[in-house]
Amino acid sequence: MKTIQTILLLLASILSGWAQQTVSPKDMIPITPMVSDELPVADGVKKILESKARQMLTMNGLASYSERFVLTPNITILTKDVTATAPPMFSITMEISFYVVDVFDQTVICEIVFPGKGIDRQEHKALIQAINRINPRSEKVSAFIEEAKNRITDYYRMRIPTLSKQAETLAAQGFYEDALNILSGVPESVEGYPAIANKIKTIYKQYANHQADQLLSKAKGYIAGREYQAATELLAEVSPLSDRYKNAITLINNIKSSIDASERAAIASQMERYESKQEEARRIHDDEVALQKMAINASRDIAIANNEANKPSLMKSINNWFISKFN
């Protein structure tokens, strides 16, 4: 009986821990885990460090990509000895530090330091041994991540008017993706976020209209050449949030009514995708909350795609910070 009670208590404890780790999407704060190219350690050590940084974020409710805020490590070797044993071993004491850095301002938001020691026949494995001892779920790490979260939230809260204006200016110049990238980085938990959400919806519609104009123009060219499969594929990409969506529906209906059975079979997959999107459009047409959420999610997808392309630039920024800090 006592054994069963012990198991039940253990399960309750585990479930409670899981519940504490569950974080609402609106409370997620974007920080990028990244190891500077300038850190003078082996590539294998860098991979372990980046993995540890990512664990520190994800296990404490922070996960995403940010082009501004980076969690980056450094290792300071305090002592390095070679033992007189057979085989000889590297005995290394060190400090392993992690910094949340604002790469735009080249400033440290907060930092945490772990003392470490590793012993192995290979120097890089001694370093890895010490890194692996860091517990990303420890109270020390949780407090560090909470401090970073609060400071980043304060940063965005104070700058909402400025960020909104920057996005407006970029959108007016036709740089819709850059504008959405700025706005998508603002966490939903920040006070004043509804104004950002409305701005995202407005600018995303501008972006969707711009994209739709290009898609419709190309599709009409394909229709003129009776290349209906290519035309339908483009028309199916027109966003339901675009003011041009009805134009795309009209063109697709015209295609459907003017082709024979064999041509209809050739575009079956494109038509299926179109029908699915049209059903979604009908479902949310009069739901302003759903329309806004759709715009926010689509904007984040754009930001993620752009961020992947911007990683070399982000690495350059963190390298510059690392050099100024440690060299």
Strands 90-102, 107-120: pairing kind:
antiparallel
Please indicate, yes or no, if residue 267 is contained in any of the structural domains: yes
Q: Are 274 and 237 in contact (CB under 8 A)?
A: no
- Give the per-residue pLDDT at 19: 38
Please indicate, yes or no, if residue 293 is contained in any of the structural domains: yes
**245-258 and 228-235 are packed helices; what angle lies between their axes, rounded to 10 degrees?**
150
Please indicate, yes or no, if residue 169 is contained in any of the structural domains: yes
The 3-state DSSP class for residue 189 equals coil
> Are residues 170 and 292 part of one domain?
yes
Higher pLDDT, 60 or 309: 60
> Are residues 178 and 218 part of one domain?
yes
Using the predicted structure, report yes or no on whether residue 235 has a pLDDT greater than 50. Answer: yes
* Lowest model confidence (mean pLDDT) among 21-25, 153-157, 231-235: 21-25
CB atoms within 10 A of CB 272: 11
Higher pLDDT, 250 or 65: 250
> Are residues 242 and 136 part of one domain?
no
Using the predicted structure, report yes or no on whether residue 246 has a pLDDT greater than 60. Answer: yes
Cα–Cα distance measured from residue 149 to residue 155, given in angstroms and rounded to the nearest whole number: 10
pTM for the complete prediction?
A: 0.75
Domains contained in the chain, number: 2
Q: Domain range for residue 196?
A: 160-309
Q: Are 120 and 142 in contact (CB under 8 A)?
A: no
> Are residues 222 and 185 part of one domain?
yes
- Give the per-residue pLDDT at 283: 63
Burial of residue 9, with CB atoms counted within 10 A of its CB: 0-12 exposed, 13-18 middle, 19 or more buried: exposed
The angle at the Cα of 194, spanning 175 to 65, to the nearest 5 degrees, equals: 55
Please indicate, yes or no, if residue 272 is contained in any of the structural domains: yes
Nearest to 37 by CA among 320, 309, 307, 308: 320
> Are residues 171 and 150 part of one domain?
no
